[in-house]
Amino acid sequence: MLIVVSPAKSLDFESPAKTRKFTEPEYLQESTQLVSQLKKLTPEDFSELMHISSNLGELNHGRYANWHTPFDLKNAKQAIFAFKGDVYIGLEAEQFSTADLNFAQNHLRILSGLYGLLRPLDLMQPYRLEMGTRFKNKKGKSLYEFWGSKLTQNINDLLANDKKPILLNLASNEYFSSIKPKELNAEIVTPVFKDYSGGKYRVVSFFAKKARGSMTAFIIKNRIKTAAKLKEFTINGYEFSDSESDSSRLVFLRKPQ
């Protein structure tokens, strides 16, 4: 089983990582191609392209101006420790043991607009480039066209030796759309987290993102490799709902305490 999650806009390059062990992103050559185009943009271009404030436009202009290879521990950080959004609050990677990190390295991938697929210990430099950005490039009008089938083929290769290959989708729709289901040689299983609010169960974005991170940590710490074992997830009050679930969609419900 392989897990895919989304990256985060919030980054932390100040706190030290838990380990000095690292790997290099597999698609660094492709990232360099994108950065070569992004370096040509002005701060105003970044603000318009990403629909962000002028301050954030300046910040990201500076990030790409300073982006360079080779990556090392002085100018980059392992992805699992660099991202700090809601998913990563739930993940709590700082609590992982060395064995946990080793398992995560083999069973977790972070989808990225700039880096394609990141392993947890892959070094990255700070960036912002959401997968849904309509950024015209040499391969098309969007990042989906830029990455094409590469990410899907990578996942197929990773799962090729599994007797029952499963791709666990804990990513947002924006990022999972970079995967081509018709070309994927694996069963896709998508957990859904709903909270009771306003008289009904519904997906609340903040809680759902955090739950995706918590489930990822649950899998890693318990070395889970089958979809059936996911039903045992009860962290933070969620409970599996058999009546709302099917083989490809596992629904977890939570009522306020």
- pLDDT tens readout for residues 178-196: 999 999 999 999 999 999 9
Residue 198: what pLDDT? 86
Residue 249, strand partner residues: 190, 246
The pLDDT of residue 207 is: 96
Q: Where are the beta strands (DSSP E) in 89-235?
A: 108-112, 116-118, 123-124, 166-170, 187-197, 200-202
Q: What is the pLDDT of residues 89-121, one digit of tens each?
A: 999 999 999 999 999 999 999 999 999 999 999
Q: Classify residue 120 as left (phi > 0), alpha (psi -120 to 50) or beta.
A: alpha
- The pLDDT of residue 158: 97
Are 216 and 108 within 8 A, CB to CB? yes
Cα distances (angstroms) measured from residue 195 to each of 129, 170, 183, 244? 30, 17, 33, 14
pLDDT at residue 57 in the model: 97
Q: What is the pLDDT of residues 154-175, one digit of tens each?
A: 999 999 999 999 999 999 999 9
As a whole number of angstroms, the distance between CA 250 and CA 243 comes to 10
Mean pLDDT by 10 residues, the chain (257 residues): 98 96 98 97 97 97 98 98 97 97 98 98 98 94 97 98 96 98 97 94 96 98 96 97 96 90
Counting every residue written for the chain, the total comes to 257
Helix, strand, coil % over all residues of the chain, rounded to 5: 40, 20, 40
Spatial distance between the Cα atoms of 153 and 68, rounded to a whole number of angstroms: 27
pLDDT value for 227: 93
For Cα atoms 96, 99, 103, give the angle at the middle one, nearest 5 degrees: 90
Task: Compute the distance between CA of residue 225 and CA of residue 116 in angstroms, rounded to an integer.
Answer: 24
Predicted pLDDT of residue 197: 86
